[in-house]
Amino acid sequence: MSEAPHLLVEENDGILIATLNRPDKLNAITGQMMGLFDEALIRFRDTPELKVMLIRSTGRYFCSGADLRDGAKSNEPPTIDRTGVAVRERHRLQLHGMHRIYDEMEHIEKPIVVAHHSTCVGGGLEMSLSCDFRLAAKSASYAFPEGKFGVLPASNGVSRLTRLVGPHWARYLIMANLPADADRAYTMGLVHEVFPDESFEEDALNFCRHLAKQHGEQMGAAKLAIEMCWELGRDQARHVERMANSTLMLNPDYLAGIEKYIAGIGSKGKSDS
Domain range summary for the chain, segments of one domain joined by +: 7-212, 216-272
pTM above 0.85, yes or no: yes
Q: Which of 37, 75, 35 is nearest to 56 (CA)?
A: 37
Strands 133-137 and 61-63, sheet pairing: unpaired
Element (H, E) at 54: strand 52-57
Which residues, other chains included, contact 172 with Cβ-Cβ below 8 Å and sequence gap of 6+? 178, 180, 188
Biggest CA–CA distance in the chain, Å, is: 87
Q: Do residues 50 and 43 lie in contact, with contact meaning Cβ atoms separated by under 8 Å? A: yes
Query: How high is the pLDDT of residue 1?
Result: 47
Among candidates 198, 64, 179, 190, which has minimal Cα distance to 138? 198
User: Which pLDDT value is given to residue 154?
Assistant: 78
Task: Assess if CATH 3.90.226.10 describes domain 7-212.
Answer: yes
Cβ neighbors of 137 (< 8 A, separation 6 or more) are: 115, 116, 117, 118, 182, 194, 195, 196, 197, 200
Contact 33, 7 (CB under 8 A): yes
Quickly count: other Cβ atoms within 10 Å of residue 11's Cβ: 13
Whether the CB-CB separation of 67 and 121 falls below 8 Å is answered with no
CB burial class (10 A; 0-12, 13-18, 19+) of residue 22? buried
State the Cα–Cα distance between residues 182 and 137, nearest whole angstrom.
7
Q: Do the beta carbons of residue 96 and residue 30 sit within 8 Å? A: yes
Mind listing the pLDDT tens digit of every residue in the chain (273 residues)?
A: 468 999 999 999 999 999 999 999 999 999 999 999 999 999 999 999 999 999 999 999 999 988 877 655 455 566 676 787 777 776 666 666 788 999 999 999 999 999 999 999 999 999 999 999 999 999 999 999 988 888 888 788 899 999 999 999 999 999 999 999 999 999 999 999 999 999 999 999 999 999 999 999 999 999 999 999 988 899 999 999 999 999 898 988 888 888 988 988 766 666 665
Please say whether the beta carbons of 13 and 53 come within 8 A. Answer: no
